[in-house]
């Protein structure tokens, strides 16, 4: 089973950018659809973006469309989340997750999760 480790979080001013990375190991990365999620304090974990095994299909929640971009490099076993025009309300712990083959917008469909990386946006 694949293991996931996120990195790239930090403190950024509103309007700035960050790129999160999620490195996979221990499995065949290209056989997994990947997703990014986040959880703000006191809120439920929410879906942000998903990408298909080959990277040709992506989907986003409305609140990040046009600002966030999910991508993957199967040669490097890594999925990315490029975040632009960050807002204070983007402050959260960001998680990547993997599920075999098919993309999903539901966190309940992802059996494998990373430990999360904190993103803090200052206003």
- Span 72-98, pLDDT tens digits: 999 999 999 999 999 999 999 999 999
d(CA 58, CA 80): 12
Please give the DSSP secondary-structure letter assigned to residue 102. S
Percent of the chain at pLDDT > 70 equals 100
pLDDT band at 27 (very low <50, low <70, confident <90, very high): confident
- Average pLDDT of span 108-117: 97
For the chain, give the longest Cα–Cα distance.
Answer: 40
CA nearest to 3, candidates 32, 28, 24, 34: 24
What pLDDT is attached to residue 1?
A: 86
CB of 60 closer than 8 Å to CB of 68: yes
d(CA 95, CA 116): 4
């Amino acid at each position: 089973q694949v293991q996931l480790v996120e990195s790239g979080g930090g403190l950024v001013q509103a309007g700035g950018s960050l790129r999160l990375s999620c490195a996979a190991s221990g499995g065949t990365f290209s056989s997994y659809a990947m997703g990014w999620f986040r959880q703000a304090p006191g809120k439920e974990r929410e879906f942000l973006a998903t990408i298909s095994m080959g990277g040709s299909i992506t989907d986003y929640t409305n609140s990040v469309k046009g600002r966030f971009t999910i991508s993957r490099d199967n040669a490097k076993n890594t999925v990315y989340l490029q975040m632009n025009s960050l807002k204070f309300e983007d402050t959260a712990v960001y998680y990547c997750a993997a599920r075999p083959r098919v993309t999903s917008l539901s966190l309940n469909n992802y059996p494998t999760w990373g430990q999360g990386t904190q993103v803090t946006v200052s206003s």
